[in-house]
Chain A
Amino acid sequence: AQSVTQLGSHVSVSEGALVLLRCNYSSSVPPYLFWYVQYPNQGLQLLLKYTSAATLVKGINGFEAEFKKSETSFHLTKPSAHMSDAAEYFCAVRTSGNTPLVFGKGTRLSVIA
């Protein structure tokens, strides 16, 4: 069965600093990987997804993630944090067929002025 592990339940960065949110996956078959973001009082919104077309995936709001099979990782990065990036970020994995989307525990990102 597939799973994801997000290291760090809370990450705090200064405005303008690099954002790095870690996600490692476990899957016996090639996975589809997703990052979702949840802003306060809103639903989960897709940031980006990996579907095997390219290992470096660019998403909305300047975020990107790189799929590294050798490290079973799909870390989310943004070169320069903005106050509006403060939110909860979820990594998720899905495999072939109608298997459910499996989420990590989430990482809360705080951005300090």
Chain B
Amino acid sequence: EPEVTQTPSHQVTQMGQEVILRCVPISNHLYFYWYRQILGQKVEFLVSFYNNEISEKSEIFDDQFSVERPDGSNFTLKIRSTKLEDSAMYFCASTKTRDSYEKLFFGSGTQLSVL
């Protein structure tokens, strides 16, 4: 089965630094998502992206966050100035359509540790 690829698997950074989390969605998918899971808490929606623009974003996705599809294959999440509370597992996902019954294909996640 095709896979969503995320790199790196683990990122350690100092508070205040910028980080970029990278994802390669499945090649014929058109809708892309970022989710995160803080240890012991729910998997939370951050943002959805289609046609080179944000479709929807949650309250968590403030001005410190941005997403980009810089080329035809990568989908990135940037955190401009990391905070301790940004430490979490970040999951990228993609789907072919926006149908609500469509399953999301998830990557294996990037564990972000902010020190």
The total number of A-B Cβ pairs within 8 Å is: 60
A99→B102 CA distance, assembly (Å): 12
Q: Contacts A43-B109, A98-B56 given: A103-B104 contact, CB under 8 Å?
A: no
Contacting pair A32 B100 (CB below 8 A):
yes
Mask for B87-110, Cβ within 8 A of A = 1, else 0?
000010100001011011011110
| Closest B residue, CB atoms, query A48 | B103
Nearest B residue to A93, CB-CB: B100
What class of interface size applies to chain A in its complex with B?
20 to 34
**Does chain B have a CB within 8 A of A34?**
yes
List residues 3-50 of chain A with CB under 8 A from any CB of chain B.
Answer: 9, 32, 34, 36, 41-46, 49
**Interface of B (DSSP majority class):** loop
**CB-defined contacts of A41 to chain B, threshold 8 Å:** 9, 108
- Cα–Cα distance between A42 and B107 once the two chains are bound (Å): 8
Given contacts A43-B108, A45-B106, contact A98 B98 (CB under 8 A): yes
Partner of B108, one of A42, A102, A103: A42
* A94-B101, A100-B48, A106-B43 known, 8 other contacts, Cβ within 8 Å: A44-B43, A51-B101, A98-B48, A98-B55, A98-B98, A100-B33, A101-B45, A104-B42
Interface residues of B (CB under 8 A from A): 3-4, 6, 9, 33, 35, 40-45, 48, 55-56, 58, 91, 93, 98, 100-101, 103-104, 106-109
